[in-house]
Amino acid sequence: MSTDAPSRPVTIITGGSRGIGAAIAERLAEDGHDLFLTYRDRALDAAAVAERCRELGARVELFRAELADLDQAALVVPAAIAAFGTVTGLVNNAGITGRIGPFLEAPIEETDLVFRINVLAPIVLTRAAIAHMSTALGGAGGAIVNISSGAATNGSAHTYIPYAMSKAALNALTTGAAKEFAAEGVRVNTVSPGTTFTEIHAAAGRPNAPQERAARIPMGRAGYPHEIAGAVAYLLSEDASYTTGADIRIAGGN
Ligand SMILES: NC(=O)c1ccc[n+]([C@@H]2O[C@H](COP(=O)([O-])OP(=O)(O)OC[C@H]3O[C@@H](n4cnc5c(N)ncnc54)[C@H](OP(=O)(O)O)[C@@H]3O)[C@@H](O)[C@H]2O)c1
């Protein structure tokens, strides 16, 4: 019998400084992951998340990256491998919605930004992660979770159709990559939150969106970030060893 202790999983979370990403970080720290957390502006928030995760026993590295800049996005996976020696998990979480409003009024420059952050950066990170993880390329396998949205299938009329389109594209990344790399030890899955209490709604110009939408949610309320994090932890765990291409919808019944 080997006396080697099993090595700890090393997981990258984009947008780990607050909201859903911060809740995922704390949950994964509890589950024994070491963490590589990216953020863009909120260095103090990121440092606070890192501190809480360290108190839970995780090794944590922080990395500032503007993911709308794909050259910066390309640095994330190599920096994580340099810091920890390997990467076993990737959570493509960072995302923006653009401002809430009618489809005809959404500036195309904003849509371009939404697609760079929500779609192109995850492609860049996912390719780099799979190139490292694929057993066909000498890697040890791994798991990727894309944080999509219920918007991908409901279309978000009158709210943010381009955002919904970006999340539908992310869903297709999961479906395709799950199949292409299933035999190479890499699992790819989606978690699709419904409206969740975070600052994303204030950035979209509607800080009270969770309260405003409550009546249209079968459970009568928006979700909390910790209610999303458990599904991500499951999909990255050995319990999900036969799960790939799945989409876990966490939307209070919507
Ligand atoms: N909240 C919801 O109702 C909801 C529902 C469905 C899906 N989602 C999805 O869940 C994910 C997390 O959302 P959230 O509500 O937790 O958002 P949030 O509270 O606004 O946090 C966004 C996170 O992403 C980072 N980020 C934003 N733009 C970035 C950029 N250009 N480059 C690098 N990092 C960037 C932020 O970093 P800084 O802190 O440094 O700014 C922050 O860590 C997103 O993909 C979102 O679409 C959210």
Q: How far is the CA of 186 from the centre of ligand 1 (A)?
A: 25
pLDDT at position 215 is 96
> Taking the domains of the chain in order of start, what are their residue ranges?
10-250
Q: How far is the CA of 117 from the centre of ligand 1 (A)?
A: 10
Angle, helix 43-55 to helix 19-30, in steps of 10 degrees: 20
Q: What is the chain's pLDDT, residue by residue, as a tens digit (254 residues)?
A: 334 445 899 999 999 999 999 999 999 999 999 999 999 999 999 999 999 999 999 999 999 999 999 999 999 999 999 999 999 999 999 999 999 999 999 999 999 999 999 999 999 999 999 999 999 999 999 999 999 999 999 999 999 999 999 999 999 999 999 999 999 999 999 999 999 999 999 999 999 999 999 999 999 999 999 999 999 999 999 999 999 999 999 999 99
Pairing of strands 10-13, 60-64: unpaired
Ligand 1 closest atom vs CA 113: 31
Residue 61 CB–ligand 1 contact under 6 Å: no
Q: How far is the CA of 217 from the centre of ligand 1 (A)?
A: 21
Cα atoms found within 13 Å of the Cα of residue 200, Cβ hemisphere only: 25
pTM summary value: 0.98
Q: Distance (Å, rounded) from C-alpha 141 to C-alpha 130?
A: 8
Residue 21 CB–ligand 1 contact under 6 Å: yes
- List the one residue out of 37, 151, 158, 63 whose CA is nearest residue 104: 158
Q: Distance (Å, rounded) from C-alpha 31 to C-alpha 94?
A: 21
- The CATH homologous superfamily to which domain 10-250 belongs is NAD(P)-binding Rossmann-like Domain (3.40.50.720)
Cα atoms found within 13 Å of the Cα of residue 192, Cβ hemisphere only: 24
Q: Distance (Å, rounded) from C-alpha 162 to C-alpha 110?
A: 9
Residue 121 CB–ligand 1 contact under 6 Å: no
Ligand 1 closest atom vs CA 19: 16
> Which residue among 39, 160, 163, 234 is the active-site one?
163
What are φ and ψ of residue 147, in 5° steps? -90, 105
Compute CA 115 distance to the chain's CA centroid, rounded to the nearest angstrom: 15
Ligand 1 closest atom vs CA 92: 45
Residue 117 CB–ligand 1 contact under 6 Å: yes
- CA-to-CA dists, residue 68 to 93, 94, 96, 115, 240, angstroms: 13, 10, 10, 9, 31
Q: How far is the CA of 201 from the centre of ligand 1 (A)?
A: 10
**Active-site residue 242, yes or no?**
no
Q: Distance (Å, rounded) from C-alpha 76 to C-alpha 64?
A: 9
Residue 122 CB–ligand 1 contact under 6 Å: no
Q: Which residues pair with 62 in a beta bridge?
A: 37
Pairing of strands 10-13, 34-39: parallel
Residue 199 CB–ligand 1 contact under 6 Å: yes
